[in-house]
């Protein structure tokens, strides 16, 4: 009985893993990973730069070196790191060098942050596979993970809270990952100083996804 209890305890307390991605607007990236089976939690924040504990306003200047990012906590028994990388590619345009879709600036550049040699090999192999399918160069970087700083609380789970508070007729029109115009920033949004997204993001994502498949 003691052996059985020990086995059950070992299974139920298996450690979770963490992955970090930058894919433009972190609201959209958070929502995409929230829908992936095996993902336990997603935190939006900033990483890649040198300034400790940056604020949203500081990162928005494009001078900190930080990228809007998501930290994904996942259960490796339910989903492999390869699947997370694949989900990442399906939600971005890996050929856009100046940001993502209608969000322009260095803080919107795309990147995969690896924590060890295994993650690097997976990410690099995945990017090489994409390079054989795209005519344009893949500009998404693969770089070592550095300190991750969670964004302000009002940024966390923003689209989830907005979806719940929005009538069905104006909520996100599609339940799967993809950058939809339903997430357009309103004038009352905490990010009201930023350029609102257009429906172009959704159409480009669909084209990118078709090429990745």
Active site residue 102: no
- pLDDT score at 183: 42
Residue 205 in tokens: 């994502």
Give the integer Cα–Cα distance in Å for 62 and 54: 12
User: 100-136: per-residue pLDDT in tens?
Assistant: 988 899 999 999 999 999 999 999 999 999 999 999 9
Domains defined along the chain, listed by start: 15-212 (3.30.1060.10)
- pLDDT score at 198: 36
Q: What kind and span of H or E run contains 189? A: none
- Characterize 21-30 residue by residue with b for buried, 16 or more Cβ atoms within 10 angstroms of its Cβ, and e for exposed: bbbbbbbbbb
Quick one: 3 exposed, middle or buried, by C-beta within 10 A (0-12, 13-18, 19+)?
Answer: exposed
Catalytic option among 19, 22, 25, 87 = 25
- pLDDT score at 158: 78
User: 151-206: per-residue pLDDT in tens?
Assistant: 999 899 877 776 544 443 333 332 233 354 334 343 234 443 443 333 334 434 44
Q: What is the mean pLDDT of residues 134-154?
A: 95
- pLDDT score at 213: 53
Residue 137 has pLDDT above 80, yes or no: yes
Residue 10 has pLDDT above 50, yes or no: no
Q: Among residues 176, 174, 175, 182, which one has the least CA distance to residue 198?
A: 182
User: 38-88: per-residue pLDDT in tens?
Assistant: 999 999 999 999 999 999 999 999 999 999 999 999 999 999 999 999 999
């Amino acid at each position: 009985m003691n052996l059985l209890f020990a086995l059950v305890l070992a299974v139920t307390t298996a450690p979770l893993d963490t992955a970090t991605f930058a894919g433009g607007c972190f609201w959209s990236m958070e929502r995409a990973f929230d829908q992936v089976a095996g993902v336990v939690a997603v935190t939006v924040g900033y990483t890649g730069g040198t300034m400790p504990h940056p604020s949203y306003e500081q990162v928005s200047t494009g001078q900190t070196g930080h990228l809007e990012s998501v930290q994904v906590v996942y259960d490796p028994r339910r989903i492999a790191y390869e699947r997370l990388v694949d989900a990442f590619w399906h939600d971005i345009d890996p050929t856009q060098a100046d940001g993502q879709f209608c969000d322009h600036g260095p803080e919107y550049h795309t990147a995969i942050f690896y924590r060890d040699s295994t993650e690097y090999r997976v990410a690099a192999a995945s990017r090489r596979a994409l390079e054989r399918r795209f005519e344009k160069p893949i500009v998404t970087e693969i770089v070592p993970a550095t300190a991750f700083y969670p964004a302000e609380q009002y940024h966390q789970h923003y689209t989830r809270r907005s979806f719940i508070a929005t009538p069905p007729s104006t909520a996100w029109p599609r339940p799967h990952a993809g950058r939809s115009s339903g997430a357009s920033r309103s004038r009352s949004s905490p990010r009201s100083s930023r350029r609102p997204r257009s429906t172009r993001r959704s159409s480009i994502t669909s084209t990118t996804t078709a090429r990745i498949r």
